[in-house]
Structure formats: C-alpha cells, structure tokens
Amino acid sequence: MTKVSKLKKAIKKEFFIYLTTLLVLIVIAHSDMLTDPMARFKLMSEKENYMHPLLYSFVIYAVIFVLRKTIDFVVGFFEKKTH
C-alpha cells in the first residue's frame, strides 16, 4: 500500500468519525431533528448560528482523537515486538 493510499484511507476514516460525532451530537442536543428538521434549520437561520454544530463537534472529535492516540501509544508499549 502506498503512502498516498494510506493517507486517503486515514482521512476517510477520520472524516467518518467526525461526521458520526456530528450526527450523534445533533440527535442528543436537538431531538426535534428526527421529527421536524426544517423547523430546526429555520431557527438556525433566524439566529444565524450556522457554525456552532461544526465547532462543538470538532471539540468533541479532538478530545476523542487525543484519547484514541493516547490509548494507541500505551497499547504499543505492551504489544509483543517480533523481529
């Protein structure tokens, strides 16, 4: 596998995790998105707060990312190395 294909795969994986985080947070914070999403979009346009879901999701994603990388680092110490 080339470096470019590995990078593409990693970006797709991280983008999927970010979108999943975004969707989960939307459903948790605004359960009305499941029943009447147009009302929520109308309210967002009236208040002009388009970016807050993306920013909140990015903060949660960043926390999850740091935790994942920390766990990977710690697990790396305990894995058997075969040469």
pLDDT digits 0-9 by tens, 2-25: 889 999 999 999 999 999 999 999
| 54, pLDDT greater than 80 | yes
Q: Which residue has the tokens 């970016």?
A: 51
| Residue, of 45 and 67, whose pLDDT is higher | 67
Q: Supply the pTM of this predicted model.
A: 0.78
pLDDT for 73 equals: 93
Percent of the chain with pLDDT over 90: 54
CA distances from 80 to 20, 21, 55, 75, 76 (A): 33, 33, 39, 10, 9
Total residues belonging to the chain? 83
Q: Are 60 and 25 in contact (CB under 8 A)?
A: yes
pLDDT for 48 equals: 85
How many CB atoms are located within 10 Å of the residue 33 CB?
15
pLDDT for 80 equals: 74
pLDDT for 83 equals: 62
